[in-house]
Amino acid sequence: MHQFHYRDGILHCEDVNLQLLAAEHGTPLYVYSANTLRENYQRLDQALTGLDHHIAYAVKANSNLSVLRLLAGLGSGFDIVSGGELFRVIKAGGNPALCSFAGVGKTAEEITYALEQGIYCFNIESLAELEFISSVAGNISTVAPVALRINPNVDAGTHKYISTGKAENKFGIDHESVREVYARASKLPHIQIRGIQMHIGSQLTSATPFVEAVERVLPLVSDLQASHDLEFFSIGGGIGIVYEEALASGPPDWWTRQEEPPLSPEVYAHHLVPLLESLNLKILLEPGRYMSGNAGILLTTCLYEKKGQAKAFKIVDAGMNDLIRPALYDGHHEIVTVRECDVTNRITADVVGPICESGDFFCQDREVPDFAKGELVALMSAGAYSFTMASNYNSRPLPAEILVSGATAQIARERQTFTDLVAGEH
Ligand code: LLP
Protein backbone atom coordinates (compact mmCIF):
# COMPACT_ATOMS: atom_id res chain seq x y z
CA MET A 1 0.00 0.00 0.00
CA HIS A 2 2.84 2.42 0.74
CA GLN A 3 6.51 2.67 1.51
CA PHE A 4 6.76 4.46 4.85
CA HIS A 5 8.25 2.21 7.48
CA TYR A 6 10.54 2.21 10.48
CA ARG A 7 14.11 1.13 10.01
CA ASP A 8 16.55 1.20 12.92
CA GLY A 9 14.02 3.11 14.96
CA ILE A 10 13.54 5.92 12.44
CA LEU A 11 10.68 6.39 9.98
CA HIS A 12 11.88 6.10 6.41
CA CYS A 13 10.28 6.87 3.08
CA GLU A 14 11.61 4.06 0.90
CA ASP A 15 15.35 4.21 1.71
CA VAL A 16 15.41 7.80 2.89
CA ASN A 17 15.74 8.61 6.60
CA LEU A 18 13.07 11.19 7.33
CA GLN A 19 14.86 12.68 10.30
CA LEU A 20 17.84 13.56 8.11
CA LEU A 21 15.54 14.80 5.36
CA ALA A 22 13.74 17.15 7.76
CA ALA A 23 17.06 18.36 9.15
CA GLU A 24 18.12 19.28 5.63
CA HIS A 25 14.90 20.86 4.36
CA GLY A 26 13.08 22.02 7.50
CA THR A 27 9.43 21.52 8.41
CA PRO A 28 6.59 21.53 7.57
CA LEU A 29 7.67 19.31 4.71
CA TYR A 30 5.65 17.18 2.31
CA VAL A 31 7.33 13.91 1.31
CA TYR A 32 6.09 11.62 -1.48
CA SER A 33 7.13 8.09 -2.35
CA ALA A 34 7.62 7.59 -6.09
CA ASN A 35 7.50 3.82 -5.78
CA THR A 36 4.16 3.94 -3.99
CA LEU A 37 2.76 6.04 -6.83
CA ARG A 38 4.13 3.58 -9.38
CA GLU A 39 2.80 0.57 -7.51
CA ASN A 40 -0.64 2.10 -7.08
CA TYR A 41 -0.89 2.90 -10.77
CA GLN A 42 0.32 -0.52 -11.87
CA ARG A 43 -1.82 -2.40 -9.38
CA LEU A 44 -5.02 -0.75 -10.59
CA ASP A 45 -4.00 -1.13 -14.21
CA GLN A 46 -3.31 -4.82 -13.69
CA ALA A 47 -6.54 -5.43 -11.78
CA LEU A 48 -8.37 -4.21 -14.87
CA THR A 49 -6.50 -6.45 -17.30
CA GLY A 50 -8.94 -7.78 -19.88
CA LEU A 51 -11.05 -4.64 -19.81
CA ASP A 52 -10.37 -2.02 -22.49
CA HIS A 53 -9.53 0.77 -20.06
CA HIS A 54 -7.45 3.85 -19.49
CA ILE A 55 -6.51 5.53 -16.22
CA ALA A 56 -6.86 9.32 -16.15
CA TYR A 57 -5.32 10.48 -12.89
CA ALA A 58 -7.31 13.25 -11.16
CA VAL A 59 -4.78 16.06 -11.05
CA LYS A 60 -6.54 17.91 -8.24
CA ALA A 61 -5.39 15.28 -5.74
CA ASN A 62 -1.72 16.12 -6.15
CA SER A 63 -0.63 18.32 -9.01
CA ASN A 64 3.09 18.63 -8.37
CA LEU A 65 4.95 18.52 -11.68
CA SER A 66 7.19 15.68 -10.49
CA VAL A 67 4.16 13.58 -9.61
CA LEU A 68 2.48 14.32 -12.94
CA ARG A 69 5.69 13.56 -14.84
CA LEU A 70 6.00 10.21 -13.11
CA LEU A 71 2.43 9.24 -13.90
CA ALA A 72 2.67 10.49 -17.49
CA GLY A 73 5.70 8.24 -17.85
CA LEU A 74 3.57 5.26 -16.83
CA GLY A 75 1.10 6.08 -19.59
CA SER A 76 -1.51 7.82 -17.44
CA GLY A 77 -4.04 10.22 -18.86
CA PHE A 78 -5.34 13.09 -16.74
CA ASP A 79 -8.64 14.30 -15.39
CA ILE A 80 -8.37 18.08 -15.20
CA VAL A 81 -10.71 20.75 -13.86
CA SER A 82 -9.05 24.01 -14.84
CA GLY A 83 -6.81 25.66 -17.38
CA GLY A 84 -4.13 25.72 -14.71
CA GLU A 85 -4.24 21.94 -14.32
CA LEU A 86 -3.94 21.52 -18.09
CA PHE A 87 -0.94 23.84 -18.07
CA ARG A 88 0.68 21.72 -15.35
CA VAL A 89 0.07 18.48 -17.25
CA ILE A 90 1.64 19.89 -20.40
CA LYS A 91 4.55 21.37 -18.43
CA ALA A 92 5.13 17.93 -16.89
CA GLY A 93 5.26 16.28 -20.32
CA GLY A 94 1.75 14.83 -20.16
CA ASN A 95 -0.24 14.40 -23.35
CA PRO A 96 -3.20 16.82 -23.74
CA ALA A 97 -4.82 14.25 -26.03
CA LEU A 98 -5.24 12.09 -22.90
CA CYS A 99 -6.90 14.86 -20.85
CA SER A 100 -10.58 15.08 -19.94
CA PHE A 101 -11.74 18.46 -18.71
CA ALA A 102 -14.43 18.29 -15.99
CA GLY A 103 -16.07 20.89 -13.77
CA VAL A 104 -19.30 22.90 -13.71
CA GLY A 105 -17.81 26.32 -14.44
CA LYS A 106 -15.38 26.29 -17.36
CA THR A 107 -14.62 29.77 -18.69
CA ALA A 108 -14.27 30.89 -22.32
CA GLU A 109 -10.50 31.29 -21.81
CA GLU A 110 -10.14 27.79 -20.38
CA ILE A 111 -12.26 26.24 -23.13
CA THR A 112 -10.27 28.01 -25.83
CA TYR A 113 -6.95 26.97 -24.29
CA ALA A 114 -8.09 23.35 -23.98
CA LEU A 115 -9.32 23.32 -27.61
CA GLU A 116 -6.04 24.77 -28.82
CA GLN A 117 -4.13 22.11 -26.92
CA GLY A 118 -6.29 19.35 -28.43
CA ILE A 119 -7.67 17.71 -25.27
CA TYR A 120 -9.46 14.39 -25.49
CA CYS A 121 -12.80 15.49 -24.14
CA PHE A 122 -14.86 18.05 -22.23
CA ASN A 123 -17.12 16.50 -19.63
CA ILE A 124 -20.29 18.55 -19.91
CA GLU A 125 -22.22 19.38 -16.77
CA SER A 126 -25.22 21.29 -18.16
CA LEU A 127 -27.09 22.19 -21.33
CA ALA A 128 -25.96 25.80 -20.94
CA GLU A 129 -22.33 24.69 -20.85
CA LEU A 130 -22.80 22.49 -23.93
CA GLU A 131 -24.18 25.41 -25.94
CA PHE A 132 -21.41 27.69 -24.73
CA ILE A 133 -18.61 25.25 -25.58
CA SER A 134 -20.10 24.84 -29.04
CA SER A 135 -20.05 28.60 -29.57
CA VAL A 136 -16.48 28.96 -28.26
CA ALA A 137 -15.36 26.13 -30.57
CA GLY A 138 -17.16 27.86 -33.43
CA ASN A 139 -15.29 31.10 -32.74
CA ILE A 140 -12.01 29.36 -33.44
CA SER A 141 -13.46 27.19 -36.23
CA THR A 142 -13.00 23.90 -34.49
CA VAL A 143 -15.06 21.10 -33.03
CA ALA A 144 -15.16 20.26 -29.31
CA PRO A 145 -15.17 16.58 -28.33
CA VAL A 146 -17.59 16.03 -25.44
CA ALA A 147 -19.03 13.52 -23.02
CA LEU A 148 -22.09 14.31 -20.96
CA ARG A 149 -21.68 13.82 -17.25
CA ILE A 150 -24.67 11.99 -15.93
CA ASN A 151 -25.81 12.37 -12.35
CA PRO A 152 -27.07 8.88 -11.48
CA ASN A 153 -28.66 10.00 -8.18
CA VAL A 154 -27.04 7.41 -5.94
CA ASP A 155 -25.80 7.84 -2.43
CA ALA A 156 -22.04 7.37 -2.33
CA GLY A 157 -22.17 7.05 1.46
CA THR A 158 -19.29 9.47 1.96
CA HIS A 159 -18.83 12.90 3.57
CA LYS A 160 -21.50 15.30 2.26
CA TYR A 161 -18.90 17.74 0.89
CA ILE A 162 -17.36 15.08 -1.34
CA SER A 163 -20.52 13.34 -2.47
CA THR A 164 -21.35 14.32 -6.05
CA GLY A 165 -23.79 11.82 -7.52
CA LYS A 166 -27.02 12.78 -5.74
CA ALA A 167 -29.77 14.80 -7.40
CA GLU A 168 -29.19 17.69 -4.97
CA ASN A 169 -25.51 18.03 -5.92
CA LYS A 170 -24.49 20.64 -8.49
CA PHE A 171 -22.79 18.06 -10.68
CA GLY A 172 -23.87 16.37 -13.88
CA ILE A 173 -27.04 16.21 -15.92
CA ASP A 174 -29.93 14.34 -14.39
CA HIS A 175 -30.80 10.94 -15.69
CA GLU A 176 -34.17 12.09 -17.01
CA SER A 177 -32.79 14.90 -19.20
CA VAL A 178 -29.66 13.29 -20.51
CA ARG A 179 -31.15 11.82 -23.73
CA GLU A 180 -32.52 15.22 -24.67
CA VAL A 181 -29.14 16.85 -24.11
CA TYR A 182 -27.43 14.19 -26.27
CA ALA A 183 -29.99 14.88 -28.98
CA ARG A 184 -29.17 18.58 -28.77
CA ALA A 185 -25.42 17.84 -28.80
CA SER A 186 -25.76 15.81 -31.98
CA LYS A 187 -27.27 18.84 -33.71
CA LEU A 188 -24.65 21.38 -32.67
CA PRO A 189 -22.16 22.00 -35.48
CA HIS A 190 -19.13 22.47 -33.27
CA ILE A 191 -19.69 19.49 -30.98
CA GLN A 192 -18.54 15.93 -31.46
CA ILE A 193 -20.02 13.40 -29.07
CA ARG A 194 -17.32 11.12 -27.77
CA GLY A 195 -18.54 9.49 -24.58
CA ILE A 196 -20.47 9.45 -21.34
CA GLN A 197 -19.14 10.15 -17.88
CA MET A 198 -20.11 9.95 -14.23
CA HIS A 199 -18.46 10.44 -10.86
CA ILE A 200 -20.45 9.81 -7.70
CA GLY A 201 -18.08 10.92 -4.98
CA SER A 202 -14.76 10.51 -3.27
CA GLN A 203 -13.32 8.30 -0.52
CA LEU A 204 -15.73 5.42 -1.16
CA THR A 205 -14.81 2.40 0.90
CA SER A 206 -17.22 -0.09 -0.62
CA ALA A 207 -17.88 -1.22 -4.18
CA THR A 208 -21.66 -1.12 -3.66
CA PRO A 209 -22.34 2.51 -4.65
CA PHE A 210 -20.14 2.12 -7.76
CA VAL A 211 -22.07 -0.98 -8.77
CA GLU A 212 -25.39 0.70 -8.09
CA ALA A 213 -24.42 3.74 -10.18
CA VAL A 214 -23.08 1.69 -13.10
CA GLU A 215 -26.16 -0.54 -13.08
CA ARG A 216 -28.38 2.50 -13.12
CA VAL A 217 -26.57 4.08 -16.05
CA LEU A 218 -25.96 0.97 -18.19
CA PRO A 219 -29.36 0.79 -19.94
CA LEU A 220 -28.94 4.42 -20.92
CA VAL A 221 -25.41 3.80 -22.20
CA SER A 222 -26.66 0.94 -24.40
CA ASP A 223 -29.50 3.11 -25.71
CA LEU A 224 -27.16 5.96 -26.51
CA GLN A 225 -24.75 3.63 -28.27
CA ALA A 226 -27.49 2.82 -30.75
CA SER A 227 -27.95 6.44 -31.77
CA HIS A 228 -24.57 8.09 -31.11
CA ASP A 229 -21.00 7.30 -31.85
CA LEU A 230 -19.71 6.67 -28.31
CA GLU A 231 -16.06 5.82 -27.74
CA PHE A 232 -15.89 5.66 -23.97
CA PHE A 233 -17.68 5.44 -20.65
CA SER A 234 -15.87 7.11 -17.76
CA ILE A 235 -16.86 5.78 -14.37
CA GLY A 236 -15.04 8.58 -12.54
CA GLY A 237 -12.81 8.35 -9.50
CA GLY A 238 -13.62 7.79 -5.88
CA ILE A 239 -11.72 4.70 -4.73
CA GLY A 240 -11.13 5.29 -1.02
CA ILE A 241 -7.95 4.67 0.93
CA VAL A 242 -7.26 3.51 4.46
CA TYR A 243 -6.43 6.52 6.60
CA GLU A 244 -6.28 4.67 9.89
CA GLU A 245 -3.63 2.14 9.05
CA ALA A 246 -0.99 4.37 7.70
CA LEU A 247 2.08 2.31 8.44
CA ALA A 248 2.74 -0.84 6.50
CA SER A 249 4.96 -2.44 9.08
CA GLY A 250 3.39 -3.33 12.41
CA PRO A 251 2.79 -4.54 14.78
CA PRO A 252 1.52 -1.95 17.29
CA ASP A 253 -2.15 -2.60 16.86
CA TRP A 254 -3.15 1.04 16.78
CA TRP A 255 -1.41 1.23 13.41
CA THR A 256 -3.12 -1.77 12.00
CA ARG A 257 -6.63 -0.81 13.02
CA GLN A 258 -8.88 -0.85 10.01
CA GLU A 259 -11.94 1.17 10.76
CA GLU A 260 -12.38 1.98 7.09
CA PRO A 261 -12.29 -1.30 5.17
CA PRO A 262 -10.06 -0.96 2.13
CA LEU A 263 -11.64 -0.98 -1.27
CA SER A 264 -8.74 -2.63 -3.05
CA PRO A 265 -8.28 -2.34 -6.82
CA GLU A 266 -8.93 -6.08 -7.02
CA VAL A 267 -12.27 -5.83 -5.19
CA TYR A 268 -13.22 -2.83 -7.29
CA ALA A 269 -12.33 -4.67 -10.50
CA HIS A 270 -14.03 -7.86 -9.36
CA HIS A 271 -17.34 -6.03 -9.02
CA LEU A 272 -17.11 -3.68 -11.96
CA VAL A 273 -15.35 -5.53 -14.77
CA PRO A 274 -18.18 -8.05 -15.33
CA LEU A 275 -20.65 -5.17 -15.68
CA LEU A 276 -18.51 -3.26 -18.15
CA GLU A 277 -16.63 -5.74 -20.30
CA SER A 278 -19.38 -6.48 -22.80
CA LEU A 279 -20.05 -2.81 -23.56
CA ASN A 280 -17.63 -2.46 -26.42
CA LEU A 281 -16.52 0.92 -25.09
CA LYS A 282 -13.25 2.13 -23.63
CA ILE A 283 -13.67 2.47 -19.86
CA LEU A 284 -12.00 5.49 -18.31
CA LEU A 285 -11.19 5.78 -14.62
CA GLU A 286 -10.31 9.00 -12.81
CA PRO A 287 -8.65 8.01 -9.55
CA GLY A 288 -6.95 10.74 -7.55
CA ARG A 289 -6.78 9.85 -3.87
CA TYR A 290 -6.21 6.16 -4.55
CA MET A 291 -3.09 7.03 -6.53
CA SER A 292 -1.42 9.56 -4.28
CA GLY A 293 -3.15 9.57 -0.87
CA ASN A 294 -0.99 7.04 0.90
CA ALA A 295 2.05 8.00 -1.16
CA GLY A 296 2.63 11.15 0.88
CA ILE A 297 3.07 12.46 4.40
CA LEU A 298 3.47 15.85 6.02
CA LEU A 299 6.40 16.17 8.41
CA THR A 300 6.00 18.70 11.20
CA THR A 301 7.90 19.62 14.36
CA CYS A 302 6.41 20.01 17.83
CA LEU A 303 6.87 23.63 18.93
CA TYR A 304 5.23 23.58 22.34
CA GLU A 305 3.19 21.51 24.70
CA LYS A 306 0.38 23.18 26.56
CA LYS A 307 -1.75 21.76 29.31
CA GLY A 308 -5.04 23.62 29.25
CA GLN A 309 -7.65 23.26 32.01
CA ALA A 310 -9.75 21.00 29.87
CA LYS A 311 -7.26 19.51 27.45
CA ALA A 312 -3.67 18.80 26.56
CA PHE A 313 -2.42 20.43 23.38
CA LYS A 314 0.58 19.63 21.24
CA ILE A 315 1.36 22.62 19.06
CA VAL A 316 3.17 21.79 15.83
CA ASP A 317 4.63 23.95 13.07
CA ALA A 318 2.18 22.78 10.38
CA GLY A 319 -1.23 24.39 10.31
CA MET A 320 -4.63 24.07 8.68
CA ASN A 321 -3.25 26.20 5.85
CA ASP A 322 -0.86 23.33 5.04
CA LEU A 323 -3.36 20.48 5.52
CA ILE A 324 -7.01 21.46 5.81
CA ARG A 325 -8.65 18.02 5.63
CA PRO A 326 -9.21 17.58 9.40
CA ALA A 327 -10.78 21.05 9.68
CA LEU A 328 -12.89 20.77 6.55
CA TYR A 329 -14.06 17.16 6.47
CA ASP A 330 -13.15 15.81 9.90
CA GLY A 331 -10.46 14.01 7.93
CA HIS A 332 -8.41 11.51 9.89
CA HIS A 333 -4.63 11.48 9.47
CA GLU A 334 -2.64 9.07 11.57
CA ILE A 335 -0.09 10.90 13.72
CA VAL A 336 3.21 9.16 14.48
CA THR A 337 6.63 10.22 15.66
CA VAL A 338 9.52 9.85 13.25
CA ARG A 339 11.61 8.38 16.06
CA GLU A 340 9.94 5.08 16.84
CA CYS A 341 8.72 5.61 20.36
CA ASP A 342 7.48 3.51 23.22
CA VAL A 343 3.93 2.61 22.22
CA THR A 344 2.76 2.68 25.82
CA ASN A 345 3.79 6.30 26.22
CA ARG A 346 0.61 7.86 24.92
CA ILE A 347 -1.65 10.71 25.88
CA THR A 348 -5.08 11.99 24.89
CA ALA A 349 -4.48 15.36 23.29
CA ASP A 350 -5.32 17.78 20.52
CA VAL A 351 -2.56 18.21 17.98
CA VAL A 352 -2.93 21.74 16.69
CA GLY A 353 -1.19 24.25 14.44
CA PRO A 354 -0.17 27.89 14.89
CA ILE A 355 -3.13 29.38 12.95
CA CYS A 356 -5.44 31.76 14.77
CA GLU A 357 -8.54 29.61 14.51
CA SER A 358 -9.94 26.92 16.76
CA GLY A 359 -10.52 24.83 13.64
CA ASP A 360 -6.76 24.57 13.23
CA PHE A 361 -6.29 21.02 14.45
CA PHE A 362 -4.98 17.70 13.14
CA CYS A 363 -6.82 15.68 15.76
CA GLN A 364 -8.96 16.32 18.79
CA ASP A 365 -9.13 14.22 21.93
CA ARG A 366 -7.15 11.48 20.26
CA GLU A 367 -4.69 9.14 21.87
CA VAL A 368 -1.35 10.10 20.34
CA PRO A 369 2.31 9.50 21.23
CA ASP A 370 3.23 11.77 24.14
CA PHE A 371 5.81 13.75 22.20
CA ALA A 372 7.51 16.92 23.42
CA LYS A 373 9.02 20.11 22.02
CA GLY A 374 11.43 19.42 19.18
CA GLU A 375 9.99 16.02 18.27
CA LEU A 376 9.56 15.36 14.55
CA VAL A 377 6.08 14.07 13.78
CA ALA A 378 4.49 12.66 10.62
CA LEU A 379 0.90 13.27 9.53
CA MET A 380 0.27 10.20 7.42
CA SER A 381 -1.74 9.72 4.21
CA ALA A 382 -1.18 13.31 3.14
CA GLY A 383 -0.39 12.72 -0.51
CA ALA A 384 -3.84 13.67 -1.84
CA TYR A 385 -5.87 16.83 -1.34
CA SER A 386 -3.25 18.06 1.05
CA PHE A 387 -0.64 20.27 -0.60
CA THR A 388 -3.12 21.02 -3.41
CA MET A 389 -5.53 22.51 -0.87
CA ALA A 390 -2.86 24.45 1.01
CA SER A 391 -3.03 28.23 1.21
CA ASN A 392 -1.00 31.16 2.44
CA TYR A 393 -3.50 31.91 5.22
CA ASN A 394 -1.90 33.81 8.09
CA SER A 395 0.81 34.73 5.55
CA ARG A 396 2.52 31.40 5.95
CA PRO A 397 4.80 30.35 3.08
CA LEU A 398 3.82 27.06 1.46
CA PRO A 399 5.93 24.08 2.55
CA ALA A 400 8.50 22.39 0.33
CA GLU A 401 7.67 19.08 -1.36
CA ILE A 402 10.14 16.23 -1.78
CA LEU A 403 9.85 13.22 -4.07
CA VAL A 404 11.71 10.15 -2.85
CA SER A 405 12.67 7.26 -5.08
CA GLY A 406 14.76 4.56 -3.46
CA ALA A 407 17.59 6.32 -1.67
CA THR A 408 17.21 9.53 -3.68
CA ALA A 409 15.29 12.56 -2.47
CA GLN A 410 14.59 15.33 -4.97
CA ILE A 411 13.07 18.72 -4.26
CA ALA A 412 9.77 18.63 -6.09
CA ARG A 413 8.91 22.15 -4.99
CA GLU A 414 10.96 24.71 -3.11
CA ARG A 415 9.67 26.10 0.15
CA GLN A 416 8.13 29.51 -0.42
CA THR A 417 9.96 32.53 0.92
CA PHE A 418 8.55 35.73 2.39
CA THR A 419 9.35 37.37 -0.96
CA ASP A 420 7.24 34.74 -2.75
CA LEU A 421 4.41 35.62 -0.37
CA VAL A 422 4.11 39.15 -1.72
CA ALA A 423 5.03 38.43 -5.33
CA GLY A 424 2.65 40.22 -7.68
CA GLU A 425 1.23 42.45 -4.96
CA HIS A 426 1.21 46.25 -5.17
N1 LLP B 1 -13.37 12.80 -11.11
C2 LLP B 1 -14.09 13.87 -10.75
C3 LLP B 1 -15.07 14.40 -11.69
C4 LLP B 1 -13.95 14.42 -9.47
O5 LLP B 1 -14.69 15.46 -9.10
C6 LLP B 1 -12.99 13.87 -8.57
C7 LLP B 1 -12.79 14.43 -7.24
C8 LLP B 1 -12.23 12.77 -9.01
C9 LLP B 1 -12.45 12.26 -10.28
C10 LLP B 1 -11.19 12.12 -8.16
O11 LLP B 1 -11.76 11.55 -7.03
P12 LLP B 1 -10.88 10.60 -6.07
O13 LLP B 1 -10.49 9.39 -6.87
O14 LLP B 1 -9.70 11.38 -5.64
O15 LLP B 1 -11.78 10.30 -4.94
N16 LLP B 1 -10.78 17.42 -1.15
C17 LLP B 1 -11.56 16.26 -0.83
C18 LLP B 1 -11.84 15.41 -2.04
C19 LLP B 1 -12.49 16.16 -3.18
C20 LLP B 1 -12.76 15.32 -4.40
C21 LLP B 1 -13.18 16.15 -5.55
N22 LLP B 1 -13.42 15.46 -6.78
C23 LLP B 1 -10.84 15.48 0.28
O24 LLP B 1 -9.77 15.89 0.71
O25 LLP B 1 -11.34 14.47 0.74
What tens digit of pLDDT does each residue of 312-332 get? 999 999 999 999 999 999 999
Asked if 228 and 280 count as a contact pair (C-beta separation under 8 A), the reply is no
What pLDDT digit, counting tens, does each position of 104-158 carry? 999 999 999 999 999 999 999 999 999 999 999 999 999 999 999 998 888 777 7
Residue 253: pLDDT band with limits 50, 70, 90: very low
> Residue 20 domain-assigned?
no
Q: Write out residues with Cβ below 6 Å of ligand 1.
A: 58, 61, 79, 102, 162, 164, 199, 202-203, 236-239, 286-290, 325, 329, 385
Range of the domain at 282: 34-291
Residues 136 and 276 in one domain: yes
Rounded distance from Cα 72 to ligand 1 centre (Å): 19
CATH at residue 368: 2.40.37.10
Taking the model in full, what pTM does it have? Answer: 0.95
pLDDT at position 66: 98
pLDDT at position 52: 98
> Residue 405 domain-assigned?
yes
For 303, phi and psi rounded to 5 degrees?
-90, -45
> Residue 376 domain-assigned?
yes
Asked if 154 and 132 count as a contact pair (C-beta separation under 8 A), the reply is no
Rounded distance from Cα 60 to ligand 1 centre (Å): 7
> Residue 229 domain-assigned?
yes
Q: What is the mean pLDDT of the chain?
A: 93
356 carries an active-site annotation: yes
Rounded distance from Cα 280 to ligand 1 centre (Å): 27
Residues 230 and 338 in one domain: no
Residues 214 and 304 in one domain: no
Residue 426: Cβ within 10 Å count: 3
Residues 234 and 366 in one domain: no
Residues 262 and 405 in one domain: no
Beta bridge partners of 100: 79, 121
Residues 185 and 328 in one domain: no
Total of domains in the chain: 2
Asked if 100 and 125 count as a contact pair (C-beta separation under 8 A), the reply is no
